[in-house]
Amino acid sequence: MTKIEIVSGDITRLQVDVIVNAANSSLLGGGGVDGAIHRSAGSELFSACKLLNGCNAGEVKITPGFRLPSPYVIHTVGPVWKGGGNDENQTLASCYQKSLRLASENNLRTIAFPNISTGIYGFPKSLAAKIALETVRDYLANHIEIERVLFCCFDEENLALYKGAVSELVLFEKVVSEQDIILTSKLASIIWNEHYVPMIGQEQVDYMLSNLQSPEAIEKLINKEGYQYYIIYHHSEPSGYISIRQKGNDLFLSKFYLIREKRRTGLGREGMRFISLQARMLGLQRIFLTVNINNLNSIKAYKKLGFQIDSPVITQIGAGYIMDDYNMSLQLL
């Protein structure tokens, strides 16, 4: 399920399409991982880097790997920690995001990262692990071309931190395959039966599951109507799903469901953070949704997340059934 792996050892020995070098701004070699990569790649890497005219913090450049097992090296310059008030977090996130983007652009499907900026640059290791994992997680949600991401930890402290952080990481995996669609439909059946039967009755739930949440219906929504579905994983377990679609200048949140035992665990806020990120990536500033008027717990939860009730709306869903809903919206800053 997950494409993220935590390993220990020497990044220069990994057989992946590309390794990432935590370089200095000159790109001409240094200590730590940077020096080890230059030594293993040979003098050809130094010559190639001389032609790149350096690199700014948060930016990336690519060279061949020369004598390394990996055919390519992406060089990125991490931030020096100065207390956290100088955009260090954003700069570190940029190192990971732009490295992944460059890998995608060069059709490189497996990539290994060191623990950028956590050596002599002094970035707090726990915070760096959180930023690294969340940035990679968010990129992978929309880039299925990246097949495998390794975090190669040289020291025991980083190894323990990364293993702990990845075990708690909430993953959002895009629904693409037939197996993904079937799993989404199964999650819908669990959630609708446990949550909506008391509100609208078993008969209407059965109708909606059969006609709107079946694998065939979900496949049509994805392939013909432009909806994007994401399965939510928590502790490696499928825990719910999200469905979104751009409508004009807004992002329509069609579905955001969690199975019962995963509610009140923080997944709601994690999911909204992810949904808001998708809206911003599309250049949108408002999210809207519909929620059943009798769904008081969901209305309360959405209000806590900043949504406002706009207006009531009645939706005809077929076979004489209706959904008596509220429109709710969230303005993004």
pLDDT band at residue 166, thresholds of 50, 70 and 90?
very high
Q: How far is CA 161 from CA 81, 151, 158, 165, 193, in A?
A: 18, 11, 5, 6, 39
Q: How far is CA 104 from CA 26, 28, 145, 216, 235, in A?
A: 25, 25, 7, 31, 27
pLDDT given at position 1 = 52
Residue carrying the six token digits 């200048």: 249
The residue among 169, 184, 217 that closes a domain is: 169
Contacts of residue 195, Cβ cutoff 8 Å, sequence gap at least 6: 257, 260
Euclidean distance between CA atoms 76 and 20, whole angstroms: 7
Same domain, 161 and 80: yes
Same domain, 309 and 160: no
* Dihedral sign for Cα atoms in the order 213, 219, 220, 223: positive
Q: What is residue 280's three-state secondary structure?
A: helix
- Give the residue-averaged pLDDT of 216-243: 96
- pLDDT digits 0-9 by tens, 255-267: 999 999 998 889 9
**Three-state DSSP string of 220-251:** HHHHCCCCEEEEEEECCEEEEEEEEEEECCEE
- pLDDT digits 0-9 by tens, 68-107: 999 999 999 999 999 999 999 999 999 999 999 999 999 9
Same domain, 150 and 236: no
Contacts of residue 174, Cβ cutoff 8 Å, sequence gap at least 6: 141, 142, 144, 180, 228, 229, 230
- Give the residue-averaged pLDDT of 210-233: 96
What's this model's pTM, rounded to 2 decimal places? 0.90
Give the closest residue to 109 by CA, choosing from 100, 122, 96: 100
- pLDDT digits 0-9 by tens, 284-318: 999 999 999 999 989 999 999 999 999 999 988 88
- pLDDT digits 0-9 by tens, 42-59: 999 999 999 999 999 999
Average pLDDT over all residues of the chain: 95
Asked if residue 333 has pLDDT above 90, the reply is no
Same domain, 42 and 110: yes
Same domain, 186 and 224: yes
Q: What is the CATH number of the domain that holds 63?
A: 3.40.220.10
Same domain, 37 and 164: yes
pLDDT given at position 264 = 86
pLDDT given at position 242 = 98
Same domain, 34 and 62: yes
pLDDT given at position 95 = 98
User: How many domains in the chain?
Assistant: 2
Burial class of residue 263 in the structure, from the number of CB atoms within 10 Å of its CB (0-12 exposed, 13-18 middle, 19+ buried): middle
Euclidean distance between CA atoms 20 and 100, whole angstroms: 10
Same domain, 84 and 232: no
pLDDT given at position 236 = 86
Helix or strand (DSSP H, E) at 201: none
Identity of residue 177:
S
Same domain, 87 and 59: yes
| Rg of the chain taking only CA atoms, in angstroms | 23
The residue among 134, 169, 204 that closes a domain is: 169
DSSP string over 5-25: EEEES-GGG--SSEEEEEE-T
Catalytically active residues are 34
Euclidean distance between CA atoms 137 and 172, whole angstroms: 7
* Dihedral sign for Cα atoms in the order 19, 24, 28, 34: negative
φ and ψ of 212, to 5 deg: -120, -20
Helix %, strand %, coil % of the chain (to 5)? 40, 30, 30
Same domain, 94 and 222: no
pLDDT given at position 7 = 97
pLDDT given at position 2 = 64
* Domain assignment of residue 91, given as a range: 4-169
Per-residue burial over 162-187, b if 16 or more Cβ lie within 10 Å, else e, is: beebbeebbbbbbbeeeebbebbbeb
Same domain, 124 and 200: no
- Give the residue-averaged pLDDT of 164-185: 95
The residue among 149, 169, 189 that closes a domain is: 169
Same domain, 138 and 29: yes
Of 236 and 68, the structure prediction assigns the larger pLDDT to 68
Q: How far is CA 321 from CA 70, 209, 253, 291, 326, in A?
A: 58, 13, 22, 16, 17
Euclidean distance between CA atoms 62 and 76, whole angstroms: 9
Q: What is the CATH number of the domain that holds 262?
A: 3.40.630.30
Euclidean distance between CA atoms 146 and 93, whole angstroms: 17
